Amino acid sequence: MNKLMPIGVQDFKDLRTSELNYLYIDKTPEVYKLVRSGKVFFLSRPRRFGKSLLLSTIRYLFEGEKELFEGLWIHNKWDWGKRYPVILLSMPECDGKEELEVLLRDKLRLVCERESVRFSSEHPSSLFAELIQKLAEKYSRKVVVLIDEYDRPILDNIDEPEKAKEVREYLKGFYSLLKDLDEYLKFILLTGVTRFSKAGIFSGLNNLKDISLDPRYGNIVGITQDELEDYLGEEIKRHGVDLEEVKEWYNGYNFLGDRLYNPFDVLWFVDRGCVFKDYWFSSGTPNFLIKLIESGNFYIPELSNLVVGEEMMDRFDVENIRPEVILYQAGYLTIDEMIAEEGFIEYKLRIPNREVRQALNKFLLEKMTDDRLDVGLSKGLSRALREGDVEGIKNWIKRLFEAIPYHYHINNPMGQYEGYYASVLFSFFMSTGYEVRGEDVSRRGRADIVVLAKDKVYVVEIKTDAQEPAIKQIEERRYWEKYEGAGKEIYLVGINIDSEARAVREMEIRRIE
């Protein structure tokens, strides 16, 4: 393959005209279906998932840049004789409402200057309305409005709730003016990471169609398994890499269409010679997620066993940020399955793939242990689990607790909340890359943690300041029975924690014969 991976290329025109011969995975069938099925749309997807390129593609389609679409599915299906004026606006980073106003006004003025449109308004909302009306008059065509990262100004200020609410209310008014300009508008698409409720930010756009969980548009961004194999399969095989291993590492996102790859992962993976690494995760963790994690007010083992109601999937409220919602919308959780019963819809969530499972839990572990962990701890535990090395497992777990600075438990709120030790151990097991289940249900109760390490199963019970050995509960309630008959070695792991000494007081590991 002689195509260059278009890493960081978000402009469709640059991608299609560059002498560098970039790869483009043809998404025009999905684009065609979207633009012909309505007028006002909203799409939420995690960061670096291809939203900006999607908007750019739609821009050049409506602007009638026929030559850019040569060889693509849509080329002979679009009416190239009709050209529409397009406003493509990417919301700026900002520190509060005042800075947002200035930056937004400057962005709109640049569009006016590029289109040779004279303006008299100074306030961004008025300027936006004036621009739309004058473009419609100038071209005698309705206007296409595309807004990228609609929620960025809010997320930039999420650690200061009052400032974030002020920004939200400002944007609510800005977006709502589109309803009053309906007669001038041909097509509208807003994209972002979070899904604020319509009442929260889109109350004026009552004709808005949220396609974030619409199966018809589930694959409009992202890379399907078929696309990976068609466009990149031969190149991956040329490096001697098994496609199933690529699938385990990077596939797994689900928006009720096919299971998807994050394009950022796949492009970097191929560009770096098919070396497995956490490309997407290491590209930057949003500040709002870091603030959430540092608050320490959620129980990490629940991440592997979450079921949420339909109403939770579009609820991102500045006043009440739910951890499971923000982790889903940011891409650290995805839909495992939709459960529809008696008129009610629920979603079972899970971590999407090995990359996120491994990298997220290393990140969580560092945040819970003062950022000082040796990466060798996770590698050592991974090897001991794989080999069934009982003494090694004990050694690595004890070393984990020894690595946590004494002052951290006292000075950091994360060291004080209920479930801290179970969360630390859960993240430690997850950081190995193996499948880990928290609060694993059996007919006699719930095991704290179950680790599936290749051909071995570890059933783990954790007790803090308890007199009886933790392993006794596993033995009495026989949590391991559900894994019998699968041809795997089964180990029972009981861990007793002394909270005053902040250390493992007792640990017993026994293999079921």
CA–centroid distance for 380 within its chain: 28
- Among residues 49, 51, 57, the alpha carbon closest in space to that of 24 is found at 57
pLDDT, tens only, 460-499 = 999 988 889 999 999 999 999 999 988 899 999 999 988 7
380: which residues sit within 8 A by CB, 6+ positions away?
392, 395, 396, 399
Half-sphere exposure of 481 (CA within 13 A, CB side): 12
Q: Tell me how far CA of residue 442 lies from CA of 41, 94, 449, 478, 483, in angstroms.
A: 43, 49, 12, 9, 10
Phi, psi of 251 (to 5 degrees): -80, 170
Residue 352 has a pLDDT of 93
Q: Counting Cβ atoms within 10 Å, is residue 70 exposed (0-12), middle (13-18) or buried (19+)?
A: exposed
Residues 6+ positions from 433 with CB-CB distance below 8 Å: 354, 357, 358, 382
Residue stretches of the chain with pLDDT short of 50: 199
**C-alpha distances out from residue 266 to 228, 254, 360, 369, Å:** 8, 16, 18, 31
**Element at 461 (helix H, strand E):** strand 456-464
**pLDDT confidence of residue 357:** 84
- What's the angle, vertex CA 127, arms to CA 125 and CA 133, rounded to 5? 105
CATH 3.40.50 domain range(s) in the chain: 12-217
Residue type, position 108, single letter: L
Q: What is the pLDDT of residue 181?
A: 93
Reported in sequence order, the residue ranges of 22-106 that DSSP labels E, i.e. its strands, are 40-44, 86-90
What is d(CA 354, CA 134) in angstroms, rounded to the nearest whole number?
A: 51
What pLDDT, on the 0 to 100 scale, is given for residue 442?
81
Greatest Cα-to-Cα distance within the chain, rounded to the nearest angstrom: 82
The CATH architecture that domain 372-512 belongs to is 3-Layer(aba) Sandwich (3.40)
Topology given in CATH for the domain delimited by 12-217: Rossmann fold (3.40.50)
pLDDT of residue 102: 95
* Measured distance CA(6)–CA(150) in Å, rounded: 24
Phi–psi pair at 59, nearest 5 degrees:
-60, -55
Which pLDDT tens digit goes with each residue over 55-103?
A: 999 999 999 999 999 999 999 999 999 999 999 999 999 999 999 999 9
Q: Which residues contact 267 (CB under 8 A, 6 or more apart)?
A: 5, 6, 7, 23
Alpha-carbon distance of 489 to 269, in angstroms, equals 34
Describe the crossing of helices 225-238 and 243-250 by its angle, rounded to 10 degrees: 130
pLDDT at 108: 95
DSSP string, 353-394: SHHHHHHHHHHHHHHHTTT---THHHHHHHHHHHHT-HHHHH
Integer Cα distance of 327 and 234 in angstroms: 34
Query: Which pLDDT score, from 0 to 100, does residue 503 have?
Result: 81
Locate CATH 3.40.1350 in the chain: 372-512
Q: CA 405 from chain center: how many Å? A: 31
Position 372 scores a pLDDT of 56
Instruction: Estimate to the nearest angstrom the gap between the alpha carbon of 482 and the chain centroid.
Output: 32
β-pairing verdict for 185-192 and 40-44:
parallel
pLDDT reported for residue 197? 60
